[in-house]
Structure 1
Amino acid sequence: MPQLDTSSWFTMILAMILTLFIIMQLKINSYKIYNTMEVKKQAPNYSPKPWEYKWTKIYLPLSLPLHY
């Protein structure tokens, strides 16, 4: 029964790891990462209240013009 030749295994495993590392680096570098340190402001979720649909104005008695 012939013996298994394992003399080239180290070279093949090292080449495989190096190849996988290079492929992963190329894939990671293809992503665009925007490095902005500014905080983006989000608009708050605004839902109008039922009483805001109708326009109303309150007149104060002292702010009304005087008619003689």
Structure 2
Amino acid sequence: MPQLDTSTWPLTILSMIFTLFALLQLKISKHFHSPSPKPADTKLQKQQTPWNCMWTKIYLPLS
């Protein structure tokens, strides 16, 4: 039975790893990432409702 020639395996494995690394770098480089995200304005504008301006008289229950 003939022996399996494994002399080219390291070259094949190294070239496969290099090719996968290059393809991964190309895929990652095509994604756009914003350089500095700006914080959103968190100030809420208070809406005027009719009951904000009026005084309400609260009646206590009869004792």
Question: 5+ unaligned residues in a row in structure 1: which ranges?
Answer: 60-68
**Matched AA of 2:26:** L
Question: 5+ unaligned residues in a row in structure 2: which ranges?
Answer: 56-63
Aligned equivalent of 2:4: 4
Aligned equivalent of 2:60: none
1:41–1:58 CA distance, 2 compared to 1 (3 A): closer
Aligned equivalent of 1:25: 25
Listed one character per residue, the Cα deviations across residues 2-28 of structure 1 (whole Å, up to 9, x for unaligned) are: 101000000000000000000000000
Percent identity (aligned): 37
The alignment of Structure 1 onto Structure 2 pairs a total of residues equal to 52
